[in-house]
Amino acid sequence: MTTDPLHETEIARTLHRCAVVGMPWISLDKRFVRRLVDEGYDEVTILGQGDWDSFDPNRPGITDGFPIDQAERFAEMAHAAGLRVKVFTGYIKYQERILQSDPSRALIRLDPAEMLDSDGVTSNWLCPFQPRNLEDYRNYLKKICRWPGLVEIFLNDEASLGAATNIGCYCQYCSGRFEERTGRPPPRRIDWDSDLWWQWIEYRMDEWTDLHARLRARVRQLLPEVTVSIQHSPLPAVFEINPWKSAVNLGRDARTLDSLCVDPYHQNHCNRIAYRPHRRILAEAARSLIGACLDKPASVMPQAFMPPGRSADLTRQDGLLAGVVPYALGAATIAPYQYHLGTIIPGFNEGLLETRKLQPQFARHEPYAFATVIAPIQSEIFGYPELDWSSRYLTHFADLMYRMGVPWRWFWDDRLYDQADALTGPLIVPDAHCLTRPQIESIRAVADRGEGVIWIGNTPDQAWSGRGPCRPPAKLEFGDIELELDRAHAIHDGLTGPVMLRTHVASAGPDNRSGEVLGTVDGRPGLVLFESGAGREAWLTGVPAFDYVQKSDHSAVRTPASGRELFQRLLLWVADRPPLARLDPFPAPNAYGRLRAWDTRDVPTIELLPMASPDSILATIFHYAPVACETRLLIAPPDGRSVGRAVELWHDVDVTEQFGQDGAGHACLPLDVPGDSELLSILIDLA
Ligand SMILES: [Zn+2]
């Protein structure tokens, strides 16, 4: 990920196309392996069968995966064909047969009701900590480590220690271990005023991290070069579960492991994930995972299967989505799940194969982000544990950023521990009050370099110790809150509607800092600007609303409001440089909105996913839903450079002559995107 392409040297990213392969009865065939090579795959991920028994011929098809002996034979074939070999090893999921014979090996949750998978199917899991379970799993890993060509092992596929508030593990072994440490059995009643409850919550998260660190160390002892990862459910990546429940904190996992993977099945998971249009579920989960991984490679597993009873139809456009969007956002690997199921979807595989023509350009460019947003996961765990805070707050925030037309990225707060040097501005710090002293200093360093910071809502009133609760300094409220702009300033000059906020805090803003108060809420400062020789900062009391619905109207009726536009202007004002590439106007006026200007369900249908190299910009614009729209691509070349030749690569059209200049010194390309457009990928040479 780059925020400053001028300082890069030549870029050569290694990108991988991975075929996820199960179904040994059709896969164990050299001709099939050759087909994968012919289709441009350089990797396979072998699906383990899940349980550790040999394949049961009396129950064929109970899982897609390979029994271990057949998996090894497939690994040999793939390796002989020059493919890198990866493996999904499962662990606590898919062990129903073991649990039937010995229920004491199960993960025990607060509520004995069955665990729900992110697909809404039920499954019962093993306790990950019991020595017998671990011993069996280690032995299984040891066998896998003999395979030829093995480059990556995914541990504990889609696992977690809880869903909703139904947390574990309360098995006899886990309860005993906690009691040894604290003298008390693990508490069963949620009590945020209890030290014991907090000890239990932190203990579970620590044990989860430690378990995978130990498993990684074990594998690396045997195979020092092998990458050890986890393939996570999309729920942590899209902020739909508080990490105190799941024990999964992607930032922490990224620090512990070599790589992470996520499987955001945009049609299968759409009842749990609110991003729209549906294909954005893939984009937002990928953006978030990459914001946790930072320096570690990220793999994205797009949906390439279509259970007729579960998924809306996938089409050629979903094949294009799988082959374009993850790479453009910074993923190193795409691994559509799964190969054989993708080939029976009309058009899907053809689209996926066609995206190979863009892959060399994706490898030559780094994803470019203008704005960086701190993902305040510590604040969620230690400040707002009672609420489904991030599913209300951070998903709204991602939806707001999507409507800004500027490229942006997440930066998970946990990575401030080890990746602070990669933090850049303009930086947005949304209600991240729970930060340690070094973390606060890394954010201050961005401000001191003059790159621009926007603080929103609660800010750290004192440094957090790194353990235990961290109550928000002021109460955060959700609602329709109007920011009264009472002082003239170019930032809000000409805004036509009221500035509505989705949240606000009952606070006067950052302590001990005097700035220019531009707006108020209930008589308290609501928008404050800080300008010094070092640069610009701003504080906003809450997150702007991008849609405002008056209480008297039905909930799809939008009243024009200006929160989004104010926020966009504020971002450009604090920044010390313009975005290298952006879309303007944005949201792009579209055919649906021209007929139904009032409809809040009219969401933007295209996204600019730019990449940069020292000599060029690759501006990919993906069409998430088939609606015609018009906008402009604005390019602000770095100082001393200008736009040279430009070619739209997807349709192979030279667009150099279509570039003009706007009044502000941008090179601008008018875009008239028809409803049936698939994508645009414009390669712009910098002269
Ligand atoms: Zn247990």
Q: What is the pLDDT of residues 26-81, one digit of tens each?
A: 999 999 999 999 999 999 999 987 655 444 445 544 578 888 889 999 999 999 99
Mean pLDDT confidence for 595-622: 97
- Residue owning tokens 């765990």: 381
pLDDT digits (tens, 9 = 90+) for 330-354: 999 999 999 999 999 999 999 999 9
Three-class DSSP labels, 492-530: HCCCCCCEEEEEEECCCCCCCCCCEEEEEECCEEEEEEE
| Closest C-alpha to 426, from 317, 558, 530, 537 | 537
Token output for 643: 């736009």
Question: Distance from the CA of 193 to the center of ligand 1, in angstroms?
Answer: 25
Three-class DSSP labels, 602-640: CCCCEEEEEEECCCEEEEEEEECCCCCEEEEEEECCCCC
Question: Distance from the CA of 529 to the center of ligand 1, in angstroms?
Answer: 51
State yes or no: pLDDT of 405 exceeds 50.
yes
Q: What is the 8-class DSSP label of residue 228? A: E
Q: Which residues on neighbouring strands pair with residue 685, listed in sequence order?
A: 616
Coil, strand, or helix at residue 135? helix
- Residue owning tokens 């200006």: 562
Residues with Cβ within 8 Å of 73's Cβ and at least 6 positions away in sequence, in order, are 28
Question: Distance from the CA of 200 to the center of ligand 1, in angstroms?
Answer: 13
Residues, CB within 5 angstroms of ligand 1 (ion): 127, 169, 171, 174
What pLDDT, on the 0 to 100 scale, is given for residue 54? Answer: 45
pLDDT digits (tens, 9 = 90+) for 281-290: 999 999 999 9
Question: Distance from the CA of 213 to the center of ligand 1, in angstroms?
Answer: 18
Can you tell me the distance from the alpha carbon of 394 to that of 374, in angstroms, rounded to the nearest whole number?
10
Q: What is the dihedral of CA 401, 407, 412, 417, to 10 degrees?
A: -140
pLDDT digits (tens, 9 = 90+) for 505-531: 998 787 768 899 999 999 999 999 999
Question: Distance from the CA of 129 to the center of ligand 1, in angstroms?
Answer: 6
Can you tell me the distance from the alpha carbon of 332 to that of 627, in angstroms, rounded to the nearest whole number?
30
What pLDDT, on the 0 to 100 scale, is given for residue 8? Answer: 55
Least reliable range by pLDDT among 180-194, 230-244, 491-505, 546-560 = 546-560
**82 phi-psi bin (left φ>0, alpha ψ -120 to 50, beta other):** left
Question: Distance from the CA of 576 to the center of ligand 1, in angstroms?
Answer: 52
What pLDDT, on the 0 to 100 scale, is given for residue 521? Answer: 96
Rg of the chain (C-alpha set): 25
Question: Distance from the CA of 92 to the center of ligand 1, in angstroms?
Answer: 11
Question: Distance from the CA of 549 to the center of ligand 1, in angstroms?
Answer: 47
**Contact by Cβ (8 Å): 324, 355:** yes
Question: Distance from the CA of 284 to the center of ligand 1, in angstroms?
Answer: 33
Question: Distance from the CA of 103 to the center of ligand 1, in angstroms?
Answer: 12
Question: Distance from the CA of 137 to the center of ligand 1, in angstroms?
Answer: 15
Q: So what's the ipTM on this one?
A: 1.00
Question: Distance from the CA of 140 to the center of ligand 1, in angstroms?
Answer: 20
Question: Distance from the CA of 346 to the center of ligand 1, in angstroms?
Answer: 44
Question: Distance from the CA of 300 to the center of ligand 1, in angstroms?
Answer: 30
Token output for 616: 């060029």
Question: Distance from the CA of 39 to the center of ligand 1, in angstroms?
Answer: 44
Q: What is the mean pLDDT of the chain?
A: 93
Task: State the amino acid at position 603 in one-letter form.
Answer: V
- Helix (H), strand (E) counts: the chain: 20, 29
Question: Distance from the CA of 98 to the center of ligand 1, in angstroms?
Answer: 15
Question: Distance from the CA of 269 to the center of ligand 1, in angstroms?
Answer: 28
Question: Distance from the CA of 580 to the center of ligand 1, in angstroms?
Answer: 51
Share of the chain above pLDDT 70, in %: 95
- Residue owning tokens 């604040």: 379
What pLDDT, on the 0 to 100 scale, is given for residue 122? Answer: 63
Q: What is the dihedral of CA 360, 365, 370, 376, to 10 degrees?
A: 80
Phi, psi of 398 (to 5 degrees): -65, -40
Question: Distance from the CA of 255 to the center of ligand 1, in angstroms?
Answer: 24
Phi, psi of 675 (to 5 degrees): -60, -30
Coil, strand, or helix at residue 312? coil
| DSSP assignments along 277-310, one per residue | STTHHHHHHHHHHHHHHTTS-EEE--B----TTT
Question: Distance from the CA of 265 to the center of ligand 1, in angstroms?
Answer: 29
Question: Distance from the CA of 177 to the center of ligand 1, in angstroms?
Answer: 9
Domains and CATH numbers, the chain: 13-363 (3.20.20.80), 371-574 (3.40.50.880), 581-686 (2.60.40)
pLDDT greater at residue 51 or residue 577: 577
3-state helix, strand, coil in the chain (%, to 5): 30, 25, 45
Residues with Cβ within 8 Å of 303's Cβ and at least 6 positions away in sequence, in order, are 263, 264, 265, 266, 267, 268, 282, 311, 314, 318, 322, 336, 337
Phi, psi of 644 (to 5 degrees): -105, -130
Question: Distance from the CA of 425 to the center of ligand 1, in angstroms?
Answer: 43
Q: Is the dihedral of CA 596, 601, 604, 606 positive or negative?
A: negative
Question: Distance from the CA of 110 to the center of ligand 1, in angstroms?
Answer: 12
What pLDDT, on the 0 to 100 scale, is given for residue 99? Answer: 85
Question: Distance from the CA of 387 to the center of ligand 1, in angstroms?
Answer: 26
Question: Distance from the CA of 241 to the center of ligand 1, in angstroms?
Answer: 21
Question: Distance from the CA of 466 to the center of ligand 1, in angstroms?
Answer: 26
Residues with Cβ within 8 Å of 181's Cβ and at least 6 positions away in sequence, in order, are 203
Question: Distance from the CA of 205 to the center of ligand 1, in angstroms?
Answer: 13
Phi, psi of 88 (to 5 degrees): -90, 120
Question: Distance from the CA of 131 to the center of ligand 1, in angstroms?
Answer: 10
Banded model confidence at residue 652, pLDDT cuts 50, 70, 90: very high
| Closest C-alpha to 600, from 542, 545, 675 | 545
Banded model confidence at residue 186, pLDDT cuts 50, 70, 90: very high
Question: Distance from the CA of 189 to the center of ligand 1, in angstroms?
Answer: 18
What pLDDT, on the 0 to 100 scale, is given for residue 57? Answer: 45
Question: Distance from the CA of 173 to the center of ligand 1, in angstroms?
Answer: 6
State yes or no: pLDDT of 576 exceeds 80.
yes
Question: Distance from the CA of 237 to the center of ligand 1, in angstroms?
Answer: 25
Token output for 380: 């969620």
State yes or no: pLDDT of 4 exceeds 70.
no
Question: Distance from the CA of 218 to the center of ligand 1, in angstroms?
Answer: 21
Question: Distance from the CA of 161 to the center of ligand 1, in angstroms?
Answer: 9
What pLDDT, on the 0 to 100 scale, is given for residue 55? Answer: 43
Phi, psi of 206 (to 5 degrees): -65, -45
pLDDT greater at residue 507 or residue 200: 200
Question: Distance from the CA of 172 to the center of ligand 1, in angstroms?
Answer: 7
Question: Distance from the CA of 106 to the center of ligand 1, in angstroms?
Answer: 7
Question: Distance from the CA of 168 to the center of ligand 1, in angstroms?
Answer: 7
Question: Distance from the CA of 126 to the center of ligand 1, in angstroms?
Answer: 8
